[in-house]
Structure 1
């Protein structure tokens, strides 16, 4: 998925390309995974990242200094037999991704498929 249909999301992607070019490929890969599994997903800029929703918000991607955080709104409900998800809040769980290898090693697709 190259470009976003949402103008503000596209501007954020452009800003990331300019200020964090080392994270752009990873960000775009994560968006590809989201839209592969949930093609009707809508995206918007919120909390400084890209929020994803279908009938309601289900997660988002946030570029940090040393990683990208993929947040899942109801991650507490996900099957996570290898205890990969991080976070101890009531509902939200996240993955910290530092490299393209983390996409497979942390099984991002497995968790994105669990989104309802």
Structure 2
């Protein structure tokens, strides 16, 4: 596994098409809430946090695109039905092929993003760490 120094190094190493998509999404997420912060973890994953974890850049595959995963996806209503579980119990995500694909579904993404931020604001007791700990105890 390739290790990157920071988020900018990570983005710079991507193909131009993927870098364009990730940079665009990164900007949108960072302005979605005044308390939004980014955190580069595990030497290859960029997380976005607003009071708690919100989402992260998941798997990047040249042929399938990029998944943007919501860490508490199972708690989101997802009224538009755009989130995919891919067999996961907690995390849900949206996969985008490129920037054009993202822009075609940007409104749906922003709705999910705002719902995830609102969940963190209105239910601060449901932290990702607590959810994971409770799931592991079962």
Q: Which has the larger radius of gyration?
A: 2
CA RMSD of aligned residues (A): 1.9
Task: Indicate conservation of the 8 Å contact 1:42/1:54, yes or no.
Answer: yes
Q: Does 1:31 align with 2:42?
A: no
Runs of 4 or more, structure 1, over 6 Å off, are: none
Matched, 1:56 2:57: no
1:110 aligns with 2:111: yes
Q: For the residues of structure 2 that align with 1:104 and 1:110, how far apart are their CA atoms?
A: 13
Structure 1 unaligned runs (5+)? 1-6
Give the total of aligned pairs: 107
The 5 Å alignment of 1:1-116 reads 8-16=6-14, 20-47=15-42, 48-62=44-58, 63-66=60-63, 67-87=65-85, 88-106=87-105, 107-115=108-116, 116=120
TM-score where L is the length of structure 2: 0.67
Alpha-carbon offset, residue 97 of structure 1: 0.5
**Alignment check: 8 A CA contact 1:43 1:52 kept:** yes
User: Does the 8 Å contact 2:71/2:91 carry over to 1?
Assistant: yes
